[in-house]
Amino acid sequence: MDYTIKIKKAKKSLFRDEWVWKMAWRDARNNFGRLFLFISSVIIGIAALVSINSFNINLQTSIDDQAKDLLGADLVVNANKPFEEDLWAKFDSTKLEGSLELNMASMVVFMTSTPGTRLVRIVAFDGDFPFYGNLETLPQNAPKLMRSGTFAMLDENLASQYDVSSDDSLKIGGITFKIAGTVSQIPGGGGLQSTFTPSVYISLDDLDSTGLVQYGSRVNYKKYFKTNSQQETDELLEELKPLIRQYGHSYETVEGRKNNLGDGFENLYRFFNLLAFVALILGCIGVASSVHIYVKEKKSTVAVLRCIGASGWQAFNIFFVQTTIIGLIGSILGVGLGLLIQYVLPILLQEFIPLDLELSIAWAAVFEGILLGLIIAILFSVLPLIAVRYVPPLTVLRTNYEELKSYSKTRMLVVVLIILFPLAFAAYQSKSLAIGFFFFLSLVAAFGCLALVAWGLMTLVKKNFPSRWSFVWRQSLANLFRPNNQTLVLVVVIGLGAFLISTLNIVQNSLLNQVEFIGKENQSNTVLFDIQPSQKAGVVQLTKDNDLPIQQLVPIITCRLANVKGKSVADIQKDTSDAIPNWAITREYRVTYRDTLTASEELINGELQHISNDTIYVTISEGMQENLEVGVGDRLVFDVQGVSIVAYIGGVREVDWPTDPPNFIFVFPTGVLEEAPQIYVLTTRIDAQSKANTYQRELVTSFPNVSLIDLRLILSTIDEFFDKVSFVIQFMALFSIITGLVVLTGAVINSKFIRFRENVLLRTIGALKKQIQRMTILEYAYLGFFAGLTGIGLSLLSGWALAIWFFEIIFFPDVLSLGIIWVSIVLLTMLIGWLNTRDVVNSSPLEVLRKET
Amino acid sequence: MPNILSVENLTKSFKTGDRALTVLDSVSFDVEEGSSMSIVGPSGSGKTTLLGLCAGLDVSTSGAVTLVGIKLNALDEDDRAYVRNQNVGFIFQNFQLLPTLTALENVTVPLELRGETGYTQKGKTLLDRVGLGDRMGHYPTQLSGGEQQRVAMARAFISSPKILFADEPTGNLDEETAEMVTDLLFNINKEENTTLILVTHNMELAENTERILQLKGGKLVVDRKSRIAS
């Protein structure tokens, strides 16, 4: 009689299957080392993400909290000319508490133990500004002293630069001021502002007596208001807006300051987001790669479990539980590390941020980090883990038995989710589907190109196989296309790592290049401005007496637009369908006159400025032509100090603004503006510091209102700033690079399992250890070479696209550092390849062969 | 006695490139419950393939295997795994212990998988029985080949299988250890009244079973009683 047994096995859910959890623990307790690659990928990826997101959240919160303190008032009206009478009348009618500030650039003579002259920002104000935020000074009564007259306060870094003490004094224009104290914090100042344009603060009552405000002086006017409520601010603004707009002034509210600050950090956010994306994607590859290795190692264990009755899902669940729990631990550790780094970032960035960063644990970033870590750990480990379900039990009898099934619905679903993940994450992180799509397409294109290169390499080597080469060279080349080769996998993974790391490098260089002062290439390094016509000859003589070349002596006339293409400025303002921005029609234009182009200009349309049949033809710069929506032949009316001058656009110039300043939006022909009130700008080059000191001192003594810009000083300040920014960027990029290295190591270790048996067999039949090592190292050298080259080639494309479209900056790759990345990848691949051979050369062939029986 | 295993016209082919390679060709036989049988033959004769098919580790190209009354061909891999867990024990030439589990844990795994309780005591008793009472907490890498095979034997018997498949159980052992393991295998098998299917090259070992099947080129060429049985 035959037995009749019904299959009545009860299906257990993962959470109720104790055996699975027990086995997961038993298996993991001796395997933590093996799971190191896995957990490190998660930790680094999540740490980068959390530190960046948490920092962003804290920065945004600080901006929100401190915007009022940063503005110092509820409303500020800004102008670059004195406020008009009717506007003053409005200001006065408000009866609100207010303060007036005038600021301008001027030379200051330091009469201190370290005497010197320097261009600074003179800030003169009255009233009780700031109304909000801190005015931190040393001593505390310095503002009171300053308001009492002929006392000045100065930024603390400026004070330390010239060793200023309380007994010292400084000369501004024609007046000597005693030092009231130093300013460490003031709304609207500090941070970068004080690095680039250090300020000296005086009472508004003292400004006139300095004689600095003359014709042509660029003075900024600020009227600060303190209101009692947001409603009052809104009402005040509604009342002032028409006149502000009419006169081309501007205003700033607390909300506006918040937005401006947010916009100011846009590139920083974007770069950090890119870093987070790269680190996370590399982390994903790291997870998939390490689990793939892990699963390979576990194949025999799974076969035994299947043999003694474990179902495919049970076997899968054992490792699923392991990777999920370890992924969770990795996420938590990553979040912890990320939060720690978050506390380091402000130390690095504090100088560049004009506010006190208040750090707290950004719980949103914490939960997001844990959740994303878990998703990555699960999603990217599931694909290699699915193979566990299909390990045939027959593997216990024959090691090379094929997988039961290569296609499954689960596998397809996971593949689809894996494809969607980078797209969804990039879109979420950048808050833009278009940007997310761009990142995603870059990744897909990179995968495709790398796969193509791998396939091409295999085909090329196979077709042109050098059969006369030595055994080692032939064998290493043959490894590239033989069955079970790792060419495709390694080229794709190493290449992708190289692609991401070098893309980051290119973006970093382009960003850093953006802040480099292009004036470096400019021959002039000293610019004198605000030279009155009566001072022109004297300044020229002084320059010649100091044996300095006069490279440019340019007249500057200030004027405004009165009419554009037959429409008055007022009509353009009223016409809501007109797209010409208000600032473009109301601003003050500084124009010059000459009949030639300078080295920084190129005529791209029409003719050079000229007079033809008593008609004046001016040239306009390319960008402003678009803003004013004018073209060659269009009519303009200029208001030059009350005199109307009709002119036509004769041509359009492309201007390379930073090169050879000063450059101009409008250039008139000679013979028109010679009699108009004007000032002059003179440029020269000074090489020796001693000569610069003498020249500056003599200039300030003889012509106190003339200001001098020492480009070398600016360059050294920018260099310093550049070094700090560069350090921050490199520090953050380090995450992605470390994750990339983890991935690379994982990929190469993975290939070890494929080559191990073959190399042992070669040893068995007499290959020397050296030959095995050379063969392996050569194989990895080819792979590293081609993968690195392709990855870097692709990164040039993606880096260019990112620079142009995403960051909107100039594409500036650094060939040397890309070369270093390439060589490093080849060497690293070779090193890991060599390390992989150590097991082979140190294992007894018999031991391995026995295992394989 | 009823048949615990029935094999009818069993054929297994593999594809190698464009050609199909037949490893087993229309093999048929029955095995009575409680009996012992050896499958012998030269390398490549199909012994291991036949064992794999009989134990439900693989599926045939054609023909049928009925194990403990269940037609294995009709089942999917997970159902066959269930059948194995409930009815089958294995001993392999390479021992196939789980490297991350201790000796005791290796032995108790099949019972844990069944969801039974009291497996620890049963495992300890069996390890004592195979002479490894003092090695229960050791990992496989800390045990000798003979010790590993004895652990594997304890694992095979812990679930009181109805049928035990042993693939070259002494193939990786020295002569003395092999003899000890063989004695232990046959003694426990007798005590537990388990059906034994043994795959081996070793004719001397095969003669210890009641019946011998000889394969050659995938075909069953000899089906005879052993010297012991006759």
Using the predicted structure, report yes or no on whether residue A765 has a pLDDT greater than 80: no
Distance CA A498, CA A784 (A): 9
Contact A584, A572 (CB under 8 A): no
Q: CB distance B66–A312 less than 8 Å?
A: no
Q: What is the pLDDT of residue A1?
A: 37
Q: CB distance A853–B6 less than 8 Å?
A: no
Q: CB distance A853–B75 less than 8 Å?
A: no
Q: Which residues of A touch B87 (CB under 8 A)?
A: 5
**Category of A133 on φ-ψ map: left (φ > 0), alpha (ψ -120 to 50) or beta:** left
Q: What is the pLDDT of residue B63?
A: 93
Pairing of strands A526-531, A707-710: antiparallel
Q: What is the pLDDT of residue A728?
A: 63
Chain-centroid distance of CA A826 in Å reads 28
Which of A178-182, A200-204, A429-433, B43-47 has the weakest average pLDDT? A429-433
Chain-centroid distance of CA A116 in Å reads 36
Instruction: Point out the residue among B84, B105, B167 whose CB comes nearest to the CB of A309.
Output: B84
Query: Residue A660's CB: how many other CB atoms inside 10 A?
Result: 19
- Tens of pLDDT, residues B97-152: 988 889 999 999 888 888 888 889 999 999 998 889 999 999 998 999 889 999 99
Using the predicted structure, report yes or no on whether residue A161 has a pLDDT greater than 50: yes
For chains A and B, count residue pairs whose Cβ atoms are closer than 8 Å. Answer: 114
Q: CB distance B82–A22 less than 8 Å?
A: no
Instruction: Point out the residue among A4, A300, A308 whose CB comes nearest to the CB of B90.
Output: A308
Distance CA A184, CA A199 (A): 11
Instruction: Point out the residue among A2, A7, A310 whose CB comes nearest to the CB of B3.
Output: A2
**Beta carbons within 8 Å of A268's beta carbon, 6+ residues apart:** none
Q: CB distance B90–A311 less than 8 Å?
A: no
Q: Which residues of A touch B113 (CB under 8 A)?
A: 19, 308-310, 314
Q: What is the pLDDT of residue B216?
A: 92
pLDDT, mean of residues A787-805: 87
Tokens of A710: 């020492």
Distance CA A274, CA A153 (A): 43
- End-to-end Cα, chain B, rounded Å: 18
Mean pLDDT, chain B, whole residue set: 89
pLDDT, mean of residues A481-485: 73
Using the predicted structure, report yes or no on whether residue A119 has a pLDDT greater than 80: no
pLDDT, mean of residues A676-697: 84
Distance CA B149, CA B155 (A): 10
Tokens of A681: 């700008």
The verdict on A816 touching B (C-beta cutoff 8 Å) is no
More confident residue, A758 or A530: A530
Burial of A459 (0-12, 13-18, 19+ CB in 10 A): exposed
Q: How far is CA A723 from CA A39, A75, A512, A516, A717, in A?
A: 33, 36, 9, 10, 10
Secondary structure E strands in B49-156: 62-67, 70-71, 88-91
Q: What is the pLDDT of residue A5?
A: 44
The C-alpha of B102 sits at a distance from chain A's nearest C-alpha, in angstroms, of 9
Q: Find the closest chain A residue to B2 by CA distance.
A: A1
Instruction: Point out the residue among A4, A300, A310 whose CB comes nearest to the CB of B69.
Output: A4
Q: Which residues of B touch A851 (CB under 8 A)?
A: 94
Q: Which residue's structure tokens are 């600080």?
A: A62
Q: Which of B138, B182, B184 is nearest to B38 (CA)?
A: B182
Q: Report residue B56: phi and psi, to 5°.
A: 80, 20
Q: CB distance B82–A7 less than 8 Å?
A: yes
Using the predicted structure, report yes or no on whether residue A738 has a pLDDT greater than 80: no
The verdict on A22 touching B (C-beta cutoff 8 Å) is yes
Contact A497, A503 (CB under 8 A): no
Using the predicted structure, report yes or no on whether residue A824 has a pLDDT greater than 60: yes
**Category of B182 on φ-ψ map: left (φ > 0), alpha (ψ -120 to 50) or beta:** alpha
Q: How far is CA A181 from CA A144, A154, A201, in A?
A: 10, 7, 10
Tokens of A30: 């001796």
Query: Residue A585's CB: how many other CB atoms inside 10 A?
Result: 22
Q: Which residue's structure tokens are 């013979």?
A: A671
* Helix, strand, coil abundance in chain A, percent, nearest 5: 60, 15, 25
**Beta carbons within 8 Å of A200's beta carbon, 6+ residues apart:** A108, A120, A121, A122, A123, A152, A153, A154, A155, A158, A170, A172
The verdict on A399 touching B (C-beta cutoff 8 Å) is no
Q: Find the closest chain A residue to B156 by CA distance.
A: A308
User: Max alpha carbon distance in chain B (Å)?
Assistant: 54
The C-alpha of A21 sits at a distance from chain B's nearest C-alpha, in angstroms, of 12
Instruction: Point out the residue among A2, A4, A22 whose CB comes nearest to the CB of B112.
Output: A22
Q: How far is CA A216 from CA A34, A591, A640, B48, in A?
A: 73, 12, 12, 101
Q: CB distance A853–B99 less than 8 Å?
A: no
Instruction: Point out the residue among A309, A312, A396 whose CB comes nearest to the CB of B85.
Output: A309
Quick one: pLDDT band at residue A712, thresholds 50, 70, 90?
low
Q: What is the pLDDT of residue A189?
A: 63
Chain-centroid distance of CA A202 in Å reads 37
The verdict on A404 touching B (C-beta cutoff 8 Å) is yes
Burial of A201 (0-12, 13-18, 19+ CB in 10 A): buried
Tokens of A472: 């080692």
Q: Which residues of A touch B86 (CB under 8 A)?
A: 5, 309
Q: Which residues of A touch B96 (CB under 8 A)?
A: 300, 303-304, 307, 396
The C-alpha of A334 sits at a distance from chain B's nearest C-alpha, in angstroms, of 28
Q: CB distance B78–A31 less than 8 Å?
A: no
- End-to-end Cα, chain A, rounded Å: 39
Q: CB distance A309–B90 less than 8 Å?
A: no
The C-alpha of B203 sits at a distance from chain A's nearest C-alpha, in angstroms, of 20
The C-alpha of B100 sits at a distance from chain A's nearest C-alpha, in angstroms, of 5
Instruction: Point out the residue among B4, B113, B167 whose CB comes nearest to the CB of A309.
Output: B113
Tokens of A502: 């070098």
Quick one: pLDDT band at residue A853, thresholds 50, 70, 90?
very low
- Tens of pLDDT, residues A2-14: 334 445 555 667 7
The C-alpha of B224 sits at a distance from chain A's nearest C-alpha, in angstroms, of 23
Mutate to test the interface with A, among B16, B21, B31, B58 (most CBs of A within 10 A): B58
In chain A, pLDDT over 90 holds for what percent of residues?
14
Query: Residue A195's CB: how many other CB atoms inside 10 A?
Result: 18
Distance CA A595, CA A616 (A): 12
Query: Residue A556's CB: how many other CB atoms inside 10 A?
Result: 19
Distance CA A227, CA A417 (A): 54
pLDDT, mean of residues A214-240: 86
Instruction: Point out the residue among B77, B113, B172 whose CB comes nearest to the CB of A312.
Output: B77
Q: CB distance A2–B69 less than 8 Å?
A: yes
Q: Which residues of B touch A850 (CB under 8 A)?
A: 172
Tokens of A338: 């990320």
Helix axes A845-852, A711-764, angle to 10 degrees: 70
Mutate to test the interface with B, among A32, A298, A304, A400 (most CBs of B within 10 A): A304
- Tens of pLDDT, residues A587-606: 888 899 999 888 888 999 99
Contact A186, A71 (CB under 8 A): no
Q: CB distance A26–B105 less than 8 Å?
A: yes
Q: Which of B123, B171, B183 is nearest to B151 (CA)?
A: B123
The C-alpha of A22 sits at a distance from chain B's nearest C-alpha, in angstroms, of 10
Which of A568-582, A752-766, B67-81 has the weakest average pLDDT? A752-766
Q: Which residues of A touch B88 (CB under 8 A)?
A: 309
Distance CA A176, CA A442 (A): 62
Query: Residue A435's CB: how many other CB atoms inside 10 A?
Result: 20
Q: How far is CA A25 from CA A20, A41, A296, A381, A793, in A?
A: 9, 21, 19, 18, 45
Q: What is the pLDDT of residue A723?
A: 60
Query: Hey, what amino acid is at A751?
Result: S
Cis peptide before A581 (omega within 30 of 0): no
Q: Which residues of B touch A22 (CB under 8 A)?
A: 112
Quick one: pLDDT band at residue A291, thresholds 50, 70, 90?
confident
Mean pLDDT, chain A, whole residue set: 81
Chain-centroid distance of CA A12 in Å reads 51
Using the predicted structure, report yes or no on whether residue A538 has a pLDDT greater than 90: yes
Using the predicted structure, report yes or no on whether residue A334 has a pLDDT greater than 70: yes
The C-alpha of A291 sits at a distance from chain B's nearest C-alpha, in angstroms, of 17
Which of A239-248, A329-338, A390-399, A545-554 has the weakest average pLDDT? A390-399
pLDDT, mean of residues B184-199: 88
Quick one: pLDDT band at residue A560, thresholds 50, 70, 90?
confident
The C-alpha of A844 sits at a distance from chain B's nearest C-alpha, in angstroms, of 17
Q: CB distance A3–B113 less than 8 Å?
A: no
Q: What is the DSSP letter of B9?
A: E
Query: Hey, what amino acid is at A624?
Result: M
Contact A561, A638 (CB under 8 A): yes
The verdict on A308 touching B (C-beta cutoff 8 Å) is yes
More confident residue, A769 or A91: A91
Q: Which residues of B touch A304 (CB under 8 A)?
A: 96-98
pLDDT, mean of residues B66-78: 88
Distance CA B161, CA B138 (A): 25
Distance CA A677, CA A657 (A): 25
Q: CB distance A311–B52 less than 8 Å?
A: no
pTM for the whole thing? Answer: 0.67
Distance CA A227, CA A211 (A): 34
The C-alpha of A437 sits at a distance from chain B's nearest C-alpha, in angstroms, of 41
Q: Which of A109, A112, A125, A192 is nearest to A157 (CA)?
A: A192
The C-alpha of A417 sits at a distance from chain B's nearest C-alpha, in angstroms, of 26
Q: CB distance A304–B96 less than 8 Å?
A: yes
User: Max alpha carbon distance in chain A (Å)?
Assistant: 127
Using the predicted structure, report yes or no on whether residue A522 has a pLDDT greater than 60: no
The C-alpha of B87 sits at a distance from chain A's nearest C-alpha, in angstroms, of 10
